[in-house]
Structure 1
Amino acid sequence: MLKRYFPILDWLPGYQKQWLSGDLSAGITVGIMLVPQGMAYAMIAGLPPVFGLYAALVPQIVYALMGTSRQLAVGPVAMDSLLVASGLGALALSGIEEYIAMALFLALFMGGIQLLFGLLKMGFLVNFLSKPVISGFTSAAAIIIGLSQLKHLLGTDIEGSSQIHILLSNAFKTLGDTNLFTLGLGIAAIIVIRTLKKINRKIPGALVAVVLGVLAVYFLELSSSGVRIVGEVPDGLPGLTLPALDTARISELFPIALTLALIAFMEAISVAKAVEEKRGENHVKANQELIALGASNIVGSLFQSYPTTGGFSRTAVNDQAGANTGLASLISSAVVGLTLLFLTPAFYYLPNAVLAAIIMVAVFGLIDLKYPARLWKNRKDEFALLVITFLLTLGLGIKEGILLGVLASLLLLVYRTSKPHIAILGRIRDTPHFRNLDRFATDTDNPEEFLILRFDGQLFFGNKDYFRAQLQKQIEKKGEGLEYVILNAEAVNYIDSTAVFMLRSLVADLKKENIRFAVAGAIGPTRDILYTSGLIEDIGPENLFSNTNEAFTHLRMRSERSEIETRIATQTATGLV
Structure 2
Amino acid sequence: MGNADYDHQYNPQRVEIPPPKPLLTAVKSSVRETFFPDDPFRQFKNQPATKKAVLGLQYFFTILEWAPRYNLGYLKSDLIAGITIASLAVPQGISYASLANVPPIVGIYGSFVPPIIYAIFGSSRDIAIGPVAVASLLLASILAKEVSPTDNPKLYFQMALTSGLFSGILQASLGFLRLGFVVDLLSHATILGFMGGAATTVILQQLKGVLGIKHFTHKSDVVNVLKAVFSQYHEWKWEPAVMGIGFLVFLLVTKYFGKKRPSFFWISALSPLFCVIIGSLMAYLTHAEKHHIGVIGHLKKGLNPVTVSDLTAVFNSRHLAVSIKAGFISGIIGLAEGIAVGRSFATVKNYHIDGNKEMIAFGLMNIIGSFFSCFLSAGPFSRSAVNFNAGCKTQVSNIVMAFIMMLTLLFMTPLFQYTPHVVLCSIIMMAMIGIMDVPAAIHLWKVDKIDCMICLGAFLGVSFGSVEIGLSIAVVISLLRLILFIARPRTLNLGNLPNTSTYRSIDQYTAAKNVPGVLILQIDSPIYFANSNYLRERISRWVYEEEDRIKSSGETSLQYIILDISTVGGIDTSGISMLEEVKRNLDRKSIQLVLANPRSEVIKKLDTSKYIETIGREWMFVTVGEAVEACNFLLHSSKLSPGEEKAKTPEDNV
Q: What are the equivalent positions in structure 2 for 1:522-561 lying under 5 Å apart?
A: 522-558=598-634
3-state SS of 2:319 partner: helix
Instruction: Summarize the Cα distance change of 1:195–1:526 in structure 2 as closer, same or farther, 3 Å threshold.
Output: same
- 1:229 matches 2:295: yes
Which whole-Å CA distance do the structure 1 matches of 2:247 and 2:355 have between them? Answer: 38
Alignment correspondent of 1:61 = 116
- Residues 272-311 of structure 1 aligned to structure 2 (within 5 Å): 272-282=342-352, 284-311=353-380
1:417 Cα deviation from its structure 2 partner: 2.2
SS of aligned partner of 1:454: strand
Amino acid at match of 2:543: I
Distance 2:443 2:374 in 1: 40
For 2:616 and 2:424, the matched residues in 1 are separated by: 74
State which of 226, 238, 249 in structure 2 corresponds to 1:180: 238
Question: Which region of structure 1 is more displaced relative to structure 2, 205-214 or 393-402?
Answer: 393-402
Counterpart residue number, 1:322? 391
Give the superposition deviation at 1:469: 2.0
Q: 1:17 aligns with which of 69, 72, 94?
A: 72
Q: 1: CA distance between counterparts of 2:395 and 2:502?
A: 54
What's the CA shift for 1:390? 1.2
Please say if residues 147 and 155 of structure 2, whose CA atoms lie closer than 8 Å, have aligned partners that are also in contact: no
Counterpart of 2:573 in structure 1 is 497
**What is the SS of the residue equivalent to 2:184?**
helix
Instruction: Give the Cα separation in 1 of the matches to 2:75 and 2:63.
Output: 15
The answer on whether the counterparts of 1:159 and 1:170 sit within 8 Å (CA) in structure 2 is: yes
Cα shift readout 1:464-508 (whole Å, capped 9, x = no counterpart)? 222222221221223271110110111111122112111111101
Counterpart in the other structure of 2:30 = none
Residue number in structure 2 paired with 1:202: 266
Residue in structure 2 matched with residue 573 of structure 1 by the alignment: none
Which residue is 1:568 aligned to?
A: none
In 2, are the aligned partners of 1:79 and 1:141 still within 8 Å (CA)?
A: yes
Instruction: Find out whether 1:406 has 2:475 as its counterpart.
Output: yes
Give the conservation status (yes or no) of the 8 Å contact 1:453–1:486. Answer: yes
Is contact 1:508–1:538 with CA below 8 Å preserved after alignment?
A: no
Deviates more, 1:188-197 or 1:4-13: 188-197
- Cα deviation, 1:196-246, whole Å, max 9, x if unaligned, reads 233332120001111111111111222112211111111111222302314
Equivalence map 1:361-372=2 (5 Å):
361-372=430-441
Specify whether residues 193 and 92 from structure 1 end up closer, same or farther in structure 2 by C-alpha distance, changes over 3 A only. closer
Q: 2:253 & 2:178 partners in 1: Cα distance?
A: 45
Of 210, 216, 224, 1:153 maps to: 210
- 8 Å Cα contact 1:44-1:148 kept in structure 2: no
Relative to structure 1, the CA distance from residue 533 to residue 165 in structure 2 (aligned partners, 3 Å threshold; closer, same or farther) is: farther
Q: Is the 8 A contact 1:181 1:222 kept in 2?
A: no
* Aligned mates of 2:439, 2:91 — CA distance in 1: 30
Given that residues 448 and 478 in structure 1 are in contact (C-alpha distance below 8 angstroms), is that contact kept between their aligned partners in structure 2? no
| Aligned residue in 2 for 1:119 | 176
CA deviations on 1:517-546 (whole Å, 9 max, x unpaired) are 001122222211211232222222111100
SS at match of 2:327: helix
Structure 2 residue aligned with 1:27: 82
Tell which deviates more after alignment, 91-100 or 56-65: 91-100
Q: Is structure 2 residue 185 aligned with structure 1 residue 128?
A: yes
CA distance in 2, matches of 1:213, 1:132: 38
Name the counterpart of 2:283: 217
C-alpha distance in structure 1 between counterparts of 2:409 and 2:508, whole Å: 68
Match of 2:160 in 1: 103
Find 2:197's aligned residue among 128, 137, 140: 140
Offset of residue 3 of structure 1: 1.3
Cross-structure match for 1:515: 591
CA gap 1:293/1:448 in 2 versus in 1, 3 angstroms: same
Show CA shifts across 1:434-489 (max 9, x none): 12222334x34424411111111111222222222222122122327111011011
Unaligned runs of 5+ in 2: 1-55, 258-263, 552-556, 636-654
Q: Distance in 2 between matches of 1:376 and 1:524?
A: 39
Task: Determine if the alignment matches structure 1 residue 391 to structure 2 residue 391.
Answer: no
CA contact (8 A) 2:496 2:515 kept: no
Question: TM-score, structure 2 length as denominator?
Answer: 0.83
What is residue 42 of structure 1 aligned with on the other side? 97
Cα distance in 2 for partners of 1:348, 1:92 equals 27
1:137 shift after superposition:
0.8
1:56 positional shift? 1.3
Contact 1:148 1:161 in 2 (8 A): no
Between the aligned partners of 1:220 and 1:162, the Cα distance in structure 2 is 33
For 1:273 and 1:141, locate their aligned partners in 2 and report how far apart those are by CA, in whole Å.
Answer: 23
- CA 360–467 in structure 1, closer or farther in 2 if over 3 Å, else same: same
3-state DSSP class of the match of 1:310? Answer: coil
Q: CA deviation at 1:322?
A: 1.1
Q: Number of aligned pairs? A: 558
**Partner residue in 2 for 1:440:** 509
Supply the distance in 2 between the matched residues of 1:308 and 1:445 (Cα, whole angstroms).
59
Superposed displacement of residue 258, structure 1? 1.2
The alignment yields a C-alpha RMSD, in angstroms, of: 1.7
Contact 1:148 1:160 in 2 (8 A): no
Give the aligned residue type for 2:266: K
1:193 match: 251
The residue number in structure 2 matching 1:572 is none
**What secondary structure does 1:75 align onto?**
coil
Change (3 A) 1:49 1:525: same
Q: Against the structure 1 CA distance between its residues 554 and 126, is the aligned structure 2 distance closer, same or farther, given a 3 Å change threshold?
A: same
Determine the C-alpha separation between the residues in 1 that align with 2:105 and 2:546: 76
| Residue in structure 2 matched with residue 460 of structure 1 by the alignment | 528
**Equivalent pair of 1:64/1:326 in contact (CA under 8 Å):** yes
**Superposition deviation, residue 162 in structure 1:** 2.5
Matched, 1:333 2:397: no
What percentage of residue pairs aligned between the two structures are identical?
32
Q: Post-superposition shift, 1:122?
A: 1.4
Q: Verify the 8 A CA contact 1:269 1:286 in the aligned structure 2.
A: yes
Alignment deviations for residues 324-352 of structure 1 (CA, whole Å, 9 cap, x no partner): 11111011011111111111111121100
Change (3 A) 1:39 1:92: closer
Partner SS, residue 13 of structure 1: helix
Residue number in structure 2 paired with 1:419? 488
Deviates more, 1:272-281 or 1:366-375: 366-375
Structure 1 unmatched ranges of 5 or more: 560-577
**Distance of aligned partners of 1:381 and 1:241 in 2 relative to their CA distance in 1, 3 Å threshold:** closer
Q: Deviations along 1:123-180, whole A, 9 cap, x unmatched?
A: 2222111111111111111111222212111111322323222222112212221111
> How big is the shift at 1:320?
0.5
Question: Normalised by the size of structure 1, how large is the TM-score?
Answer: 0.94
Displacement of 1:95 in angstroms is: 0.5
Say whether the 8 Å CA contact 2:299–2:417 is kept in structure 1. yes
Given that 1:40 and 1:52 are in contact with CA atoms closer than 8 Å, whether structure 2 keeps it comes out as: yes
- Tell me how far apart the structure 2 counterparts of residues 21 and 92 of structure 1 sit (CA, whole Å): 47
Which amino acid in structure 1 is aligned with residue 570 of structure 2? Y
Instruction: Show structure 1 runs of 4+ deviating over 6 A.
Output: none
Which entry has the higher C-alpha Rg, 1 or 2? Answer: 2
Separation in 1, partners of 2:179, 2:540: 42
Q: Which amino acid aligns with 2:241?
A: L
Residue 28 of structure 1 aligns with an amino acid whose one-letter code is I
> Which deviates the most, 550-559 or 262-271?
550-559
Alignment-derived partner of residue 228 in structure 2 = 170
